[in-house]
């Protein structure tokens, strides 16, 4: 099968990818968006989204992503449902293979919007109550736990940030960590430990999440020294053990930071390879919000448009 040609290929279909597609399509760049394993990204498994501008009553995550897709489609974006299994950035145009060579695209410009995935514990009840009390984003979901009790799992800076943020809403935050000492920086530990709403259970792990039809009602905690288990009542369960950027396909071809996020030039979405751009959670280890991902998707499309104008002039 002959390789197909595209002016711009966008890998990923969350807020960053869809926004890049909207801007690229409106610029008549005729983008091709390859959706990936989870069309719509992490928001498709998010219930209420109440912090995205323009939706004063909130909106369900899947519905929002459908609207993003419809808007990109309206302006002429072509969608390919499949998983990008390899890219070759050492040639021009760039080669993008889908589903182990089921089809391949030659792209004059490439926008990587593959996102990041939250790390999970893999314990019983975690998936069952996802979106019904189980979350990996305090900024996204903390508002729903006003005057309620929540549990945060983790011992690093992310866990301390999540716990501290949740005290704005929750009546009590319990941090559970498997070791005797927290891994967080000293300043983050002190901030959390000095907050009267936060308490700690150390040398312990959460073995399962329990709940009912309404959602989470508690977690079962196991003491790693004694082996004893006890159920702790809570209304929310936040997993804060980090995220993994979905950047394996460009490892060894693009510079990545220590955590695997794509490095971009300051103030842009440009990578070290001209014509390759990165946006959204694949390059953002800090904010990881739908609105910031969409913003960098816009930037990537504008950067790609300017690159292609220059590239055409150079030909």
What amino acid positions are annotated as catalytic residues?
137, 140-141
62 burial type by CB count under 10 A (0-12 exposed, 13-18 middle, 19+ buried) = middle
> Are 96 and 110 contacting, i.e. CB atoms less than 8 angstroms apart?
yes
Compute CA distances 247 → 114, 143, 208, 260, 296, whole Å: 7, 31, 30, 7, 17
Would you state the structure tokens that stand for residue 312, as one six-digit string? 């055409």
The token pair that represents 62 in the structure block = 């899947």
- Distance (Å, rounded) from C-alpha 240 to C-alpha 278? 25
Query: Can you point out the beta strands (E) in 171-226?
Result: 172-176, 198-201, 204-212, 215-223
Give which of 13, 12, 10, 49 is closest to 31, Cα–Cα: 10
28: Cα within 13 Å, side-chain hemisphere: 1
User: For residues 41 and 62, what is the distance between their CA atoms, to the nearest angstrom?
Assistant: 9
Q: Kindly report the length of the chain.
A: 315
d(CA 310, CA 315): 9
Cβ–Cβ contacts within 10 Å for residue 91, how many? Answer: 8
């Amino acid at each position: 099968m002959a390789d197909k040609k595209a002016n711009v290929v966008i890998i990923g279909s969350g807020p960053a990818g869809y926004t890049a597609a909207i801007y690229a399509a409106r610029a008549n760049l005729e983008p091709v968006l390859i959706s990936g394993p989870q069309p719509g990204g992490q928001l498709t498994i998010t219930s209420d989204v109440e912090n995205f501008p323009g939706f004063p009553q909130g909106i369900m995550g899947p519905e929002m992503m459908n609207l993003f897709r419809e808007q990109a489609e309206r302006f002429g974006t072509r969608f390919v449902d499949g998983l990008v299994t390899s890219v070759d950035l050492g040639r021009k145009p760039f080669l993008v293979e889908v589903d182990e060579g089921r089809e391949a695209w030659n792209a004059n410009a490439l926008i990587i919007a593959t996102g990041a995935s939250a790390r999970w514990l893999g314990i019983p009840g975690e998936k069952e109550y996802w979106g019904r009390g189980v979350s990996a984003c305090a900024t996204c979901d903390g508002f729903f736990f006003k005057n309620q009790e929540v549990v945060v799992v983790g011992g690093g800076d992310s866990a301390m940030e999540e716990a501290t943020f949740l005290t704005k809403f929750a009546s009590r935050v319990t941090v559970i960590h498997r070791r005797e000492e927290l891994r967080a920086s000293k300043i983050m530990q002190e901030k959390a430990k000095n907050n009267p709403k936060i308490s700690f259970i150390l040398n312990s792990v959460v073995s399962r999440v329990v709940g009912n039809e309404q959602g989470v009602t508690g977690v079962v905690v196991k003491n790693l020294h004694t082996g004893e288990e006890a159920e702790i009542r809570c209304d929310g369960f936040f997993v804060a053990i980090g995220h993994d950027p979905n950047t394996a396909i460009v490892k060894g071809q693009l510079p990545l930071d220590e955590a695997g996020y794509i490095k971009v030039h300051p103030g842009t979405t440009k990578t070290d390879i001209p014509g390759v751009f990165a946006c959204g959670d694949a390059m953002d280890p800090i904010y990881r919000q739908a609105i910031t991902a969409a913003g960098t998707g816009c930037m990537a499309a504008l950067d790609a448009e300017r690159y292609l104008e220059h590239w055409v002039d150079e030909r």
